[in-house]
Amino acid sequence: MDKSLNDKKAEIFKALSNPVRLDVIDLLLDGEKCVCEIQQALKKYEQPHISKSLAKLKSVGLIKDRKDGLNVYYSLNICCMGEFMTCLNKILK
């Protein structure tokens, strides 16, 4: 059973349909960050919650990771994210 294009796109949008994960995307729009930096910036969320959010975004290919010693660095994996977010921001005023 091969997934249709829109099934795959739906999974991407589902990964984006959560405010915590959008907070993460906002941070990564600013450039690569290690998990520790993301946690520092989003102190209001628990560590496992952030870790799961990163895993979900990665599972659909929106972000990628890179290990360096104990740290894991995440960055955006899709170029057009910034433009679309800017557009949405304008619409939502």
Alpha-carbon distance of 32 to 54, in angstroms, equals: 13
What 3-state class would DSSP assign to 8?
helix
In whole angstroms, the minimum distance from the beta carbon of 93 to a second copy comes to 9
The answer to whether 69 contacts DNA (rule: CB under 7 A) is yes
The answer to whether 67 contacts DNA (rule: CB under 7 A) is yes
Torsion angle of C-alpha atoms 76, 78, 79, 84, degrees rounded to 10: -100
| Complex with a second copy: residue 6 or 68, whichever CB lies closer | 6
- What is each CA distance from 72 to 10, 26, 45, 49, 66, in whole angstroms? 27, 18, 18, 16, 6
The answer to whether 48 contacts DNA (rule: CB under 7 A) is yes
Of a second copy, DNA, none, which one sits near residue 27, judging by CB under 5 to 8 A according to partner kind? none
The answer to whether 75 contacts DNA (rule: CB under 7 A) is no
* Residues engaged in binding DNA (CB under 7 A): 14, 17-20, 34-36, 39, 45-49, 51-52, 54-56, 65, 67, 69-72
